[in-house]
Each structure stands twice: as structure tokens, then as C-alpha cells.
């Protein structure tokens, strides 16, 4: 008989590769005052992985998240924007169109800060922080200026663009 490989149990924070190449983190959370635990996988985005690996700073990560939220508010995300006018007791006084226009204006300013949408940095933040592609996906499929990039070049472009966005959003000096 052959020997079976032992399977180690997952512990909180372990990363696993899911089908399709996505990365997930094993999350185990206790409920206060009880013995109940919630355990599940949480997919990890590219910005989260870069922060976890020490490739970007917390300010750069926060700037990427700000860009991502603005991208959704501008209704450019495939998932769309949350219907804020349906939230009871909400403080929104403007229309959905005004919020979308505001978000698109601020998105344009952020893209201008990294060199515009046609620049390498603008293209990287659009696809990775905005559309949620991985660095590998963007480098292989879209790349910049219609040509694929080496994954390490793509990561360098993204990291530099996030550094500029961190300054733009006020997360760094």
C-alpha cells in the first residue's frame, strides 16, 4: 500500500488557490459571548495580496480602494452601484445621476494624476483597482497600449501608479 499524504487543517489567514486561479483566505471568526464560530473562504483581491506581501503600503492600498469605490459609484463596474436612494433614512439629497457624474469627475481627476487613462499607470488602475482584474490577467490579456506585459513589469506599473494615487487621495506625502 502507498502512503497517504497528510492533510494539514487550515488556520486563520491561510491562503488557498481556488479553481480558476483565484486566491482566497481562510477566515475563522468567533462570535462574542458564545462558542460559535463562523468559518469561510474570503476571496482576496490583487491590492490585498500586494499589501499582505509588503509590495505596497497601507496608504497605497487605501488609495486603490478609494479608486475602486469611486469606480463603482460612477457605475462603471460590472456589478453596478448600490441603489442609495432605497436606503431608509438616507442623507442623499441629490439624484443618482448627480452622484454618478460626481464620481466620474473624481475618477477622471484620479486618472489624470497617474497620467491619464491611456498611460500605463492609468490603464493599470482602471483594470486592476477598477475592474478587479488580477495583475496577471491584466498583464497577459490587456497589458498597456495593446501589448502584453511581463507580470513583473505590470506589478511595477501598478505599484508606481498606486504611489501617485496615495498622494492624490491624501494617504501619503
pLDDT of residue 57: 96
Written as tens digits, the pLDDT of the chain (173 aa) is 555 666 677 777 787 877 766 677 777 777 777 888 777 776 668 898 899 899 999 999 999 999 998 998 888 876 555 555 555 555 555 566 888 899 999 999 999 999 999 999 999 999 999 988 888 888 888 667 777 889 899 999 999 999 999 999 999 87
Q: In degrees rounded to 5, what are phi and psi of residue 43? A: -65, 145
Given CA atoms 105, 109, 114, 120 in this order, what sign does their dihedral have?
positive
Cell of 155: 506589478
Q: What is the DSSP string of 155-167?
A: HHHHHHHHHHHHH
CA–CA–CA angle 130, 131, 132 (5° rounding): 95
Judged on CB neighbours under 10 Å (0-12, 13-18, 19+), 57 is middle
Per-position DSSP letters for 89-154, written without gaps between them: T----S-HHHHHHHHHHHHHHHHHHTT-TTSHHHHHIIIIIIS---HHHIIIII-BTTB---HHHH
Amino acid at each position: 500500500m502507498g502512503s497517504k499524504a497528510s492533510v494539514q487543517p487550515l488556520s486563520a489567514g491561510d491562503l488557498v488557490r481556488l479553481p480558476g486561479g483565484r486566491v482566497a483566505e481562510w477566515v475563522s471568526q468567533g462570535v462574542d459571548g458564545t462558542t460559535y464560530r463562523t468559518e469561510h473562504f474570503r476571496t482576496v483581491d490583487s491590492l490585498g495580496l500586494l499589501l499582505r506581501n509588503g509590495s505596497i503600503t497601507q496608504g497605497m492600498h487605501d488609495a486603490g480602494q478609494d479608486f475602486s469605490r469611486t469606480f463603482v459609484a460612477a457605475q462603471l463596474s460590472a456589478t453596478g452601484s448600490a441603489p442609495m436612494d432605497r436606503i431608509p433614512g438616507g442623507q442623499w439629497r441629490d439624484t443618482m445621476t448627480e452622484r454618478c457624474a460626481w464620481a466620474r469627475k473624481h475618477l477622471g481627476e484620479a486618472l489624470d494624476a497617474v497620467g491619464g487613462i491611456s498611460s500605463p499607470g492609468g490603464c493599470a488602475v482602471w483594470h486592476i483597482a477598477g475592474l478587479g482584474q488580477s495583475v496577471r490577467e491584466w498583464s497577459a490579456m490587456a497589458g498597456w497600449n495593446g501589448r502584453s506585459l511581463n507580470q513583473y513589469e505590470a506589478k511595477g506599473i501598478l505599484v508606481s501608479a498606486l504611489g501617485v494615487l496615495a498622494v492624490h487621495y491624501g494617504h501619503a506625502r
